[in-house]
Amino acid sequence: SYVLTQPPSVSVAPGQTARITCGGNNIGSKSVHWYQQKPGQAPVLVVYDDSDRPSGIPERFSGSNSGNTATLTISRVEAGDEADYYCQVWDSSSDHYVFGTGTKVTVL
Amino acid sequence: EVQLVESGGGLVQPGRSLRLSCAASGFTFDDYAMHWVRQAPGKGLEWVSGISWNSGSIGYADSVKGRFTISRDNAKNSLYLQMNSLRAEDTALYYCAKGGSNDYGGHNWFDPWGQGTLVTVSS
């Protein structure tokens, strides 16, 4: 089955840039979506189709995808960005949706 | 405003059954695929099952295939998950989520999500 690997944690100072990676075999050929989940809350879509933002999501959130790595970038990080982040793809070989292992972003 | 409200969770013994429901509002329900995604306590997200707009296409995670059945009633704007032969490892918060298109598969995302209903499988 298709595996998506994320770093368990990323720490960043306020105002700096956080980069969260999502590794998968030839992930660049897939559409990658990203979710933010704050403690006790349901996940929220922050980026879809590699780099598009749903309405209401700040421009500080951006995405890219190439080769074996997709990346969610959070610019000018704020305290409110502290959350778990998950990547997600559709695996056509298994007809299953797959989530990444998740990354906890800590704002120092 | 799109709203998804799950219900039906609870404490159930191993081997027993439970039926989850998800009431949808604020969008044209039968234009979209719908999904169930679960999250075990302290763990990550796991896609459970998805169903296309007309129930013509359905998929299940390997971990629940043969035990869980997804269905929908477009007249009632409702999504269901019948869970049989429950195991301790099925203990999780179950979320209902709207798909990004009318088909359950493909390059789709989940947006929005409900607040979830907790299923605890324990004797």
Average pLDDT, chain B: 97
Q: Is A56 left (phi over 0), alpha (psi -120 to 50) or beta?
A: left
pLDDT per residue as tens digits for the range B93-104: 999 999 999 998
Given the structure tokens 């298109």, which residue do they identify?
Answer: B101
**Any A CB within 8 A of B66 CB:** no
Q: Which residues on A lie below 8 Å from B107 (Cβ)?
A: 30-31, 49, 90
How far is the CA of A34 from the CAs of B48, B51, B55, in angstroms? 18, 21, 26
- Whether A96 sits inside 8 A of B44 (CB atoms) is no
DSSP state of B43: S
Closest-CA distance of chain B to residue A25, Å = 16
Instruction: Tell me whether residues A86 and B45 touch, CB distance under 8 A.
Output: yes
* Residue B117: partners with Cβ closer than 8 Å, 6 or more residues away: B6, B7, B8, B9, B20, B93, B94
* Amino acid identity, position B36: W
Q: Judge: B45–A49 Cβ closer than 8 Å, yes or no.
A: no
| Closest-approach residue (CA) in chain A for B41 | A40
Amino acid sitting at position B89 = E
Verify whether the Cβ–Cβ distance A33 to B116 is below 8 Å. no
Judged by DSSP in three states, B29 sits in helix
pLDDT per residue as tens digits for the range A55-103: 999 999 999 999 999 999 999 999 999 999 999 999 999 999 999 999 9
Could you give the percent of chain B with pLDDT greater than 70?
100
